[in-house]
Amino acid sequence: MKKLAPIVLFTYNRPNHTRQTVKSLQENHLAKESQLFIYSDAPKNQVAKEKVTEVREYLKTIDGFKKVTIIEREKNWGLANSIIDGVTKIINEYGKVIVLEDDLVTSPYFLKFMNEALEYYEYEKDVISIHGYVYPIKNELPETFFLRGADCWGWATWQRGWQLFESDGKKLLKELQEKKLKQQFDFNGTYAYSKMLEQQIAGKNNSWAVRWYASAFLKNKLTLYPGKSLVHNIGNDSSGTHCGATDSFAANIALYPILIKKIAIKENNNARTEFEKFHLTLKHSLFIKIKNKLKSIPYRVNPIIKDITPPLILRIIKNFVKGGGINFKGKYNSWNEAQKNATGYDTELILEKVKNASLKVKNGEAAYERDSVFFDKIEYSFPVLAALLRVAVANQGKLNVLDFGGSLGSSYYQCKNFLSDLESLQWNIVEQSHFVNCGKELFADETLKFYETIDECLTEQKPNVVLLSSVLQYLEKPYELLEKLTQYDIDYLLIDRTPCTITKEILTVQIVPPDIYSASYSSWIFNEQQLRLVLEKKYLLLCEFDALDGCIENNGIKACYKGFFLKNVPHKKIF
């Protein structure tokens, strides 16, 4: 084999991802003979500075390669500009390059495949690049095959190929339109690459990858793919051509060499058809199905109220059944005033109802339970699941939840099917003492634990996310709980099913539907902007979403149930 291609790795502020990427690369058979160039982008703001520093400290410890060269950017370039600049400089010096980002785990045979293919097709002018990732196609693919265009999850090219890269998205889109190639460019309309290109032009994304794909496609150039993936993407961002990585893209990495042998230098129509089929499965994935149904499905969630003095919990809800639903009654100036107009409830009765419903779930007689009502079909909150999985990815597949007000495991049983393949799962519920006693007796196991206070939980566990689902509104002083949570070193906060309004914050009384039991209790309806401002003084808001409960309007009060996913930023102060 001729001289090996240099490897170029682009990093930013994800130390855990970077470690996994480098570790897998070190385990490649040609690593010790390869040069590694690492571009470390500078932080775009103070929030990113700590993680960028952590990445750079780690980069200085990397060995296992012929030579490691680290280029620390002095200003933030952004992924697209950094890749375009870095690839151009390295390829102009070495004539060829292998490119990785900091969320790509590779097979031990990745470098072997890339280098052998680079050598084999070096003088084939119709071949523009080599790609290491392939979709998890159900039907068998050839050992290697060609597709028109280029790709971005672990790739390689030559100087002659990279010279064809066009950075001007407007030129690319105009040519696609003039030649009437948009349908073909979009894999027969199954994946909206042209839309992605339009968004890049409009400044809604900065994808270098869609421009790389379009540049190669318009020149009618081919990329070589392996029949079995040599790359697994562990990230979840939109930087690449196939943005928004999810489990749908998870491919089993080949643990054997992919053979480079003579094949026809033309697009493989069968493989292209399989790609189109795969794209169609994404359109019909559960995530999209559920998302489309959120506004149309009536969700029934019934109350469990709990006494709420910190560090206590509480959780109640509403009932979205035809002809039913919760009601708000009155607007009050103080918690005591609202309490005087609430009838109260029998907590032992509630516990008994929740216990019986939860046992049906545990014993497989019902799909899931929510606040004493059991269902024969799970109604998923996919934003919540996505947030939990992101936390797990950020912690090498380990998820440790502090579920404040988690009843006897309502959210745990609702989510567990999607979390069962994690490397480690621990779900800790903080509840009132009578719920905790019941939980320990009938529901606790190695994964599910029960505690009476946050402090008690933290003596045994190290949670990486706090879940507050339908809790804040039933606390007399909800902001005190948020302040208390900031005292702990917990990376993420996930708030769900919290009523918000665009008007002034309201203190009211919530009436439980009579078909559940007779009860009423004090409840806040938060001004959404004010709640966000309080949260963002301490936390970085990663996303907000509409909760499954939807919106309620009665007795002059309108509330929409919201969710927020946030990351702890230690240097911020909440008050």
Count of H-run helices and E-run strands, the chain: 19, 22
Report pLDDT digits (tens) over 135-183: 999 899 999 999 999 999 999 999 999 999 999 999 999 999 999 999 9
Buried b (16+ CB within 10 A) or exposed e, 26-52: bebebbeebbbbbbbbbbeeeebeebb
Residue 515's pLDDT is what? 57
Report pLDDT digits (tens) over 37-86: 999 999 998 888 999 999 999 999 999 999 999 999 999 999 999 999 99
pLDDT category of residue 347 using cuts at 50, 70 and 90: low
Tokens representing 28?
Answer: 């490649």
| Strand spans (E) along 231-390 | 231-233, 327-329, 368-370, 373-375
Residue 312's pLDDT is what? 31
Answer for the pair 154, 106: CB distance below 8 angstroms, yes or no.
yes
Answer for the pair 491, 394: CB distance below 8 angstroms, yes or no.
yes
The yes-or-no verdict on residue 295 having pLDDT over 90 is: no
Please work out, in degrees rounded to the nearest 5, the angle formed at the alpha carbon of residue 333 by the alpha carbons of 327 and 339: 60
Residue that the structure tokens 């570790």 belong to: 23
What distance in Å separates the CA atoms of residue 518 and residue 55, rounded to the nearest whole number?
Answer: 56
> Mean pLDDT throughout 504-520?
77
Answer for the pair 33, 123: CB distance below 8 angstroms, yes or no.
no
Sorted by where each starts, the structural domains of the chain and their CATH numbers stand as 7-284 (3.90.550.10), 290-568 (3.40.50.150)
Contacts of 177 (CB under 8 A, 6+ apart): none
- Tell me the torsion sign for CA atoms 136, 139, 144, 149: negative
- Residue 181 phi/psi, 5-degree rounding, is -110, 5
Give 304's DSSP letter. B
Give 402's DSSP letter. E
Percent of the chain with pLDDT over 90: 66
Helix (H) or strand (E) holding 560: strand 557-568
Answer for the pair 241, 186: CB distance below 8 angstroms, yes or no.
no
What distance in Å separates the CA atoms of residue 91 and residue 313, rounded to the nearest whole number?
Answer: 59
Report pLDDT digits (tens) over 384-422: 999 999 999 999 999 999 999 998 999 999 898 899 889
Contacts of 87 (CB under 8 A, 6+ apart): 8, 97, 99, 162
pLDDT category of residue 556 using cuts at 50, 70 and 90: confident
Backbone torsion region of residue 50, taken as left when φ is above 0, otherwise alpha when ψ lies between -120 and 50, otherwise beta: alpha
Residue 293's pLDDT is what? 41
In the chain, what is the straight-line distance between the N-terminal and C-terminal CA atoms, in Å? 63
Cis ω before 311 (30° cut-off from 0): yes
Report pLDDT digits (tens) over 432-451: 898 999 999 999 999 999 99
Task: Transcribe 17-48 into DSSP letters.
Answer: HHHHHHHHHHTSTTGGGSEEEEEEPPPSSHHH
Answer for the pair 537, 15: CB distance below 8 angstroms, yes or no.
no
Residue that the structure tokens 């030649």 belong to: 179
Residue that the structure tokens 């006693």 belong to: 437
Please work out, in degrees rounded to the nearest 5, the angle formed at the alpha carbon of residue 83 by the alpha carbons of 75 and 271: 155
What distance in Å separates the CA atoms of residue 510 and residue 506, rounded to the nearest whole number?
Answer: 12
Tokens representing 304?
Answer: 């469990």
Residue 361's pLDDT is what? 82
Tokens representing 482?
Answer: 């948020």
Residue 83's pLDDT is what? 96
Task: Spell out the alpha helix ranges (H) of 71-143.
Answer: 79-94, 110-120
Q: Which of 454, 477, 475 is nearest to 402 (CA)?
A: 454
